[in-house]
């Protein structure tokens, strides 16, 4: 009973503090994304932002991989594959966009990529506007 109350209290404190999975790591990634966006602005293709963000995150000491292939399965058979834009520390999947605005299709895309990769945390980053857009996702 006492452990149960203690766990409820820990959960309450976690919610109050705003802690969520990979909060510190996603904060660093977003910091790097802002640095890239501030330097380059909007108007380039996704690949330009991906290369710049890869450089920026590695400069911060983070392990990053670009264009990592993942298999997509359906009922136990491989039906396709996709390449993640960036994977950071093998814990956060990044999907980069350079478009007028983010919509539900982009959200569905990153959620499906997270499922296919078994990565629990994702960031959807849009460099296509004068102000960087970002959204965090947790499976």
pLDDT in tens, 84-105: 999 999 999 999 999 999 999 9
Average pLDDT for 9-26: 67
Indicate the pLDDT class of residue 6, thresholds 50, 70 and 90.
very low
5 exposure class (CB count in 10 Å sphere: 0-12, 13-18, 19+):
exposed
* pLDDT score for 18: 62
Number of domains in the chain: 1
Is there a domain that residue 99 lies in?
yes
Is there a domain that residue 28 lies in?
no
User: Chain-wide mean pLDDT for the chain?
Assistant: 89
CATH number for position 60:
3.90.320.10
DSSP at 76: T
pLDDT in tens, 104-124: 999 999 999 999 899 999 999
3-class secondary structure, 34: helix
Is there a domain that residue 24 lies in?
no
| 79 CB-near residues (< 8 Å, 6+ apart) | 72, 73
Is there a domain that residue 84 lies in?
yes
Comparing 125 with 83, the larger pLDDT belongs to: 125
Lookup: tokens for 67:
């264009």
Q: How far apart are CA 45 and CA 26, in angstroms?
A: 23
Indicate the pLDDT class of residue 60, thresholds 50, 70 and 90.
very high
Is there a domain that residue 8 lies in?
no
- Residue 104: give the domain boundaries: 45-139
3-class secondary structure, 62: coil
Return the closest-CA partner of residue 37 out of 21, 13, 53.
Answer: 53
Structural contact between residues 134 and 34, judged by C-beta atoms closer than 8 angstroms? no
* pLDDT score for 7: 43
Is there a domain that residue 62 lies in?
yes
84: left (phi over 0), alpha (psi -120 to 50) or beta: beta
* pLDDT score for 51: 98
Is there a domain that residue 50 lies in?
yes
Is there a domain that residue 107 lies in?
yes
């Amino acid at each position: 009973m006492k452990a149960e109350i203690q766990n409820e209290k820990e959960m309450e404190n976690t919610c109050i503090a705003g802690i969520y999975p990979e909060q510190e790591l996603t904060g660093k990634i977003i910091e790097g994304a802002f640095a890239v966006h501030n330097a380059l602005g909007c108007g380039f293709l996704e690949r330009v932002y991906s290369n710049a963000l890869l450089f920026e995150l590695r400069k911060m000491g983070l392990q990053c991989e670009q264009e990592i292939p993942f298999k997509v399965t359906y009922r136990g058979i491989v039906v396709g594959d996709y390449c993640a834009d960036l994977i950071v520390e093998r814990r956060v999947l990044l999907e980069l966009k350079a478009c007028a605005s983010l919509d539900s299709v982009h959200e569905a895309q990153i959620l499906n990529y997270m499922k296919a990769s078994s990565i629990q945390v994702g960031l959807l980053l849009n460099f296509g506007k004068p102000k960087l857009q970002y959204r965090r996702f947790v499976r």
